Amino acid sequence: MQEKNGHYDADRCLQQTLTAPDFGDWIQRSLASGEHLIATGNQGMVLRYCDHQHDLAIKCVGGNALLRGLRSWMLRREYRAFQRLQGVPGIPRCYGMAGAQALVLQYVPGSSYRHAQLQDREHWFVRLEQTVRQMHARGVSHGDLKRKANLLAADDGQPYVLDLGTAVFKKPVWHVCNNWLFRQHCRADINAVLKHKYHGRYDQIQGTDLTKLDVTNAERGWRRLRRWLGLQH
C-alpha cells in the first residue's frame, strides 16, 4: 500500500511538472538551442529531461505550421498506441502529452539496435518477438520495425520497440479495410524481427523461424523495386 501511495505521489508530482508553464518553456528553449537533444527523427526532435526524480524522453513535433499540424495529429495517435500498450515489457512507459506537441516517455538507457553489442543475441530476439506479439495481442501493430532506429537495446538486456507513429489499431470486425491493414502490418512486424535476426539474409532463415516468415505482397513488391533500383541485391 505504501509503495502504491509512493507511485501515486510520484505520478502526481510528474503530472504537475508536465503541466507547469516552466516545462513548456523548457521544451521551447531546448528546441531552439539544441540543448538536451538526443535525436532528430522523422517527426521532429527527441529531448531528454532529467531531474532528481525523472528521466524522460520528450518527443516533440517540428517543421512548418502545416507539417506541425499533421505531426501533432500523428503524435496523438502515437500517444493512444502507447496507452494501449502500457505495461508491455519492451515498450517505454508513457506519461502523457505535455501540450499538443510533446509526448512524454520514460527515457530508456541503452543503444540503438544498429550500434548495439548484444550479449545473448538468440535470447534478445526471443524477447523482441515476445514484445511484438504482445503488441499485436493488445490490438496494435507497428509497421516500421525494419527501421533499425526504431529498436533499442537497453542496458539491462531488454529489447525496446520505439516510435509508434505508424501504428494501426485493431478495430471491431466491420472495419474490414482497417483490420486487413492491421493484419498486413502484423505479418510485416514478425518478418522484420526475422530480418534483423538473420542480418537481412532471408535465404538463411531456417527451422521454426521459416514457418513464421509470411511475406506480404507489399513487401515482395518493395523488395523487387529496391532490387530494380539497385538498392539491394
Ligand X SMILES: Nc1ncnc2c1ncn2[C@@H]1O[C@H](COP(=O)(O)OP(=O)(O)O)[C@@H](O)[C@H]1O
Contact residues toward ligand X (CB under 6 A) are 38-39, 41-44, 46, 57, 59, 92, 105-108, 112, 149-150, 162-163, 165
Q: Shortest CA distance to 83 belongs to which of 98, 93, 68? A: 93
Considering CB distances under 5 to 8 angstroms, the limit depending on partner class, which of ligand X, Mg ion, none binds residue 179? none
Q: Which residue is nearest to ligand X (CB)?
A: 41
- Measured from the CB atom, is 112 or 216 closer to Mg ion? 112
- Measured from the CB atom, is 165 or 187 closer to Mg ion? 165
Tell the smallest beta-carbon distance from residue 167 to Mg ion (Å).
Answer: 12
Considering CB distances under 5 to 8 angstroms, the limit depending on partner class, which of Mg ion, ligand X, none binds residue 219? none
Quick one: CA dihedral 206, 204, 140, 221, positive or negative?
A: negative
Grid coordinates of 226: 529496391
Q: What is the DSSP letter of 114?
A: G
* Amino acid letter for position 142: H
Distance of CA 139 to the CA centre of its chain: 15
Considering CB distances under 5 to 8 angstroms, the limit depending on partner class, which of Mg ion, ligand X, none binds residue 159? none
Q: Shortest CA distance to 215 belongs to which of 230, 207, 203? A: 203
Considering CB distances under 5 to 8 angstroms, the limit depending on partner class, which of ligand X, Mg ion, none binds residue 161? none
Tell the smallest beta-carbon distance from residue 2 to Mg ion (Å).
Answer: 39
Residues found near Mg ion in the complex (CB under 5 A)? 41, 150, 163
Tell the smallest beta-carbon distance from residue 66 to ligand X (Å).
Answer: 17
55 sits in which H/E element = strand 55-61
- How many Å apart are CA 102 and CA 180, to the nearest integer? 31
